[in-house]
Amino acid sequence: MRNTTKRLSMVLAMALGVVLLTGSASAASSLMVQSTTVSGGVVTVSVKNLSMLPKTGTVKVQAVVGNQSVTAIAAVAALGGQTVSVNVAFTGTVSNAGVSLSDDSTPY
């Protein structure tokens, strides 16, 4: 009886650990925009991975070039805890830029 109780408690502890690890990783967005800079026709976006797992995402930059609104997207991939920079280039000088970021559901 004692051996069965030990096994059952061990299985429950392992199951609880798996639930806690997988539940916390998918509960919130793991990628965060840290900063955005504009230099001429290039928008540089710094992205931080808040997770300890590798993550991929998509950076969307909506910029005003001349008098036109232009949208560009770029892929981003970061290891756990890593900060990466993504450069998005436009054909003219950028006067205003807005950035959004979305996590991809499947890590690489």
Residue 108, burial from CB neighbour count under 10 angstroms (0-12, 13-18, 19+):
exposed
Q: Which residue has the tokens 């005003």?
A: 64
Q: How far is CA 101 from CA 38, 42, 48, 73, 93, in A?
A: 17, 17, 11, 10, 22
The type of residue at 52 is M
pTM of the model: 0.70
Q: What CATH number was assigned to the domain covering residues 29-103?
A: 2.60.40.3230
pLDDT, tens digit only, all 108 positions of the chain: 566 666 656 555 565 555 445 444 444 689 999 999 999 999 999 999 999 999 999 999 999 999 999 999 999 999 999 999 999 999 999 999 999 999 887 554
